Amino acid sequence: MKQLALALAAPPAPTLDNFVAGGNGEALAVLRTLVAGGSGENMLLLWGGPGSGRSHLLRAALAAFAARGRDAASGVAAAADLSEDGVLGADDVQRLDGEEQIALFNACNRLKAGGGLLIATADVPPARLALREDLRTRLASGLVYEVHALSDHDRRDALAAYAAARGFALPAEVADYLLARVPRDLATLRLLLDTLDRVSLEDKRAVTVPLAREVLQLLKTPDGAR
């Protein structure tokens, strides 16, 4: 294999279209409805474990609102400059310190009064958040959805579909090899498929486990680490 200067590029910006729903179809549908203006909700909390995609959904929703001309911003610090009918994103609220919790509580009240929307994410459901009681109550007062991580079956299907869209068939054993040895988020996995496809075409080799192993070595991804 030609020694390529390979590196994982920044993943594509998260969108509602490139989110693989898996068991999260209802949460995705609700976000689409909110973006389209078909709901008067003022509060949405998305919670789930690492790699569940909750942050992807938050960033994608904010981008979709902004694309439709809605005032949208991310982070508690941005709340002061946001219009009362705007959309505020608060990622990983379990990490907020005391002052930030007060600021977010005040932002919740301002957005609710002005017809705005807060979309928050957390790693646990509202009842288990170690936050101020008034803020925890606010976060639990709106729509609450658990965001489920994709199963291996869902990931394999998503990778196979992505490979097919690029014009090549992804053998099941290659998908399994990647899933066992690299970060399992879809953004990273798709970028690896992009690289595999490029190397396969340049070297005129089929996409196989040996080729995947060589690419991982070139990318200095620790073989055997999840």
**Full DSSP string of 134-194:** HHHHHHHTSEEEEPPPPPHHHHHHHHHHHHHHHT----HHHHHHHHHHS--SHHHHHHHHH
Together in a domain, 199 and 127 = no
Taking a C-beta distance cutoff of 8 angstroms, is the pair 226, 178 a contact? no
Report residue 77's pLDDT band, with 50, 70 and 90 as the boundaries.
very high
Domain boundary among 85, 116, 146: 146
List, in sequence order, every beta strand (DSSP E) within 82-130: 87-90, 117-122
| Rounded-to-integer distance, Cα 170 and Cα 190, Å | 12
Residue 138, pLDDT above cutoff 50: yes
Indicate whether 178 belongs to any domain.
yes
Number of domains in the chain: 2
Together in a domain, 132 and 67 = yes
Together in a domain, 70 and 174 = no
How far lies 168's CA from each of 74, 160, 197, in Å? 38, 9, 8
Average pLDDT over the chain reads 90
Indicate whether 119 belongs to any domain.
yes
Domain boundary among 101, 121, 146: 146
Locate tokens 């693989």: which residue?
Answer: 20
Together in a domain, 105 and 169 = no
Specify the pTM: 0.83
Together in a domain, 119 and 170 = no
| Rounded-to-integer distance, Cα 112 and Cα 11, Å | 34
Closest among 109, 116, 140 to 46, alpha carbons compared: 140
Q: The CATH number of the domain where 139 resides is what?
A: 3.40.50.300
Mean pLDDT confidence for 153-179: 93
| Rounded-to-integer distance, Cα 136 and Cα 28, Å | 23
Residue 225, pLDDT above cutoff 70: no
Taking a C-beta distance cutoff of 8 angstroms, is the pair 119, 62 a contact? yes
Taking a C-beta distance cutoff of 8 angstroms, is the pair 142, 107 a contact? no
Together in a domain, 74 and 137 = yes
Together in a domain, 66 and 170 = no
Domain range holding 47?
A: 25-146
Domain boundary among 127, 146, 165: 146
Indicate whether 8 belongs to any domain.
no
